[in-house]
Structure 1
């Protein structure tokens, strides 16, 4: 079912993704507002994904299979291979065509520029982001000894064609967790990179980073068992809707269906940071909507958040 993207939050197919707290279950109270394949007012910054690189330096970051250099301004000198971006108007004008692509809308309301899809925020005692509705820092995060931080990836197949625009073999991975290095500003820095990979998308691989820094040498430890996925399907909630059911609805019926279910989140497993290929390169974790089979239909209804936690430890 072809869905139209829209910037208007009052349009017919307004959708809200909510993550609610279960008494004994980790949850982040995030809201994804917008329409079936679009979002509210462009330029909203509550996703915190703008890159502020005052602490950074030129570095090389390993992706699952590629490398990219980050300049001091934060620009990627070789970002996402032949990455092309789109506006909501471009999608509605059919410029995407039959192409499947991820996180390439630059004026999405609730997420801002989707190219900046990796961000972080301090975690509270419950392991959740302390201010999930507030700013998620997509550039630099100053760490404190012993504190945990939530690293978040946003995954959105921009195709407006639903099941007909399904990405196959879709994986996510997070790398770079480890010891800090001294950057050109004299700060200690750890660059954590998030990746999305797809067998049939163009391009096939996407990456983005968030940098953690301090005046003191430190390292980041991955918190085992912390990986979570949040979406409306069987993989991301205990109150799921099937892709086929979403596909069968439109307009007010679709809105009512989506708002009648809550997004609770489900554990994803540690392969997101640990699984490697035979050659030692990062393999990542298959994700999906109805199952963790790599199949992610196109449109906002099928988008996901993936989170992990890391702990900052000063080197004594």
Structure 2
């Protein structure tokens, strides 16, 4: 009695090869079908990330401008000249859905509007909308605000080493510009900036009201946390954070920050 392969099923016979090929193909198809099912399930649970392109610039700001240098002089005797702006151009979103840590890249924030206009000013005590161009008057003080919001879609995408530096010129003129620079070590882009313009029909300069700088966020209560010193008015800047002043800003509206300080216009004697 033979102990080898059954008669008629030797590898040398053509019908053996055909049957083996059919078996292999069936196994491959089954594996591909299972893979498609598995990955289909994974895809169905993966949110679609959609960057918004060709969104017009905020109506009150020009298109992205080159970043001015911290400490640069932004004073002119032309009261009609606006130095307001924002930058750089970057991917925009309509919700917190960025696949990476990114700052102020929503164009429809229900609280402040277009986040590219994150740097704004208004009269102290006013509830008027934040502006990027404002006429100053004697005897008034003005609150300047920088808004910081991490638009990542995952709470694991923490923005790190978040630093704010403000250029508040000490020069005099009829039109004075101020810039805010926000930097981080792991966001895209790594730096963003915004500019506002103060104007008057009389020559003036701007003075920081000592001790007025505060950071507001859910972790700091209604009174916020006082920012000591004036490092934020230098190119070194100051660290911010959603839970502590450690440079870490977590994703989501609940971790958004408002940095504010107060300025007072000083007018030349007539």
TM interval, shorter chain, is: 0.5 to 0.7
User: Under a length normalisation based on structure 1, what TM-score does the superposition of the two structures give?
Assistant: 0.59
User: Under a length normalisation based on structure 2, what TM-score does the superposition of the two structures give?
Assistant: 0.68
Mark the runs of 5 or more structure 2 residues left unpaired by the alignment: 1-46, 48-57, 73-80
Deviation at 1:157, TM superposition (A): 0.6
**Which one of the candidate residues 121, 133, 143 is aligned to 1:150?**
143
Match for residue 130 of structure 1? 126
Deviation at 1:192, TM superposition (A): 1.2
TM alignment of 1:190-229, pairs within 5 A: 190-229=176-215
Retained in 2: the 8 A contact 1:100–1:167? yes
Matched residues in 1 for 2:61 and 2:176: separation? Answer: 15
Aligned length: 206
Retained in 2: the 8 A contact 1:173–1:194? yes
| Alpha-carbon spacing, 1:158–1:141, altered in 2? closer, same or farther (3 Å) | same
**Which one of the candidate residues 85, 90, 108 is aligned to 2:92?**
85
Match for residue 161 of structure 1? 154
Mark the runs of 5 or more structure 1 residues left unpaired by the alignment: 5-48, 66-71, 124-128, 182-187, 238-262, 276-281
Rg larger for: 2
Deviation at 1:269, TM superposition (A): 2.1
Retained in 1: the 8 A contact 2:141–2:263? yes
Deviation at 1:179, TM superposition (A): 2.2
CA displacement 1:251-297 (0-9 Å, x = unmatched): xxxxxxxxxxxx3312012335334xxxxxx0111011222110111
Q: Which has the higher contact order (CA 8 A, sep 6+)?
A: 1
Deviation at 1:173, TM superposition (A): 1.8
Retained in 2: the 8 A contact 1:289–1:302? yes
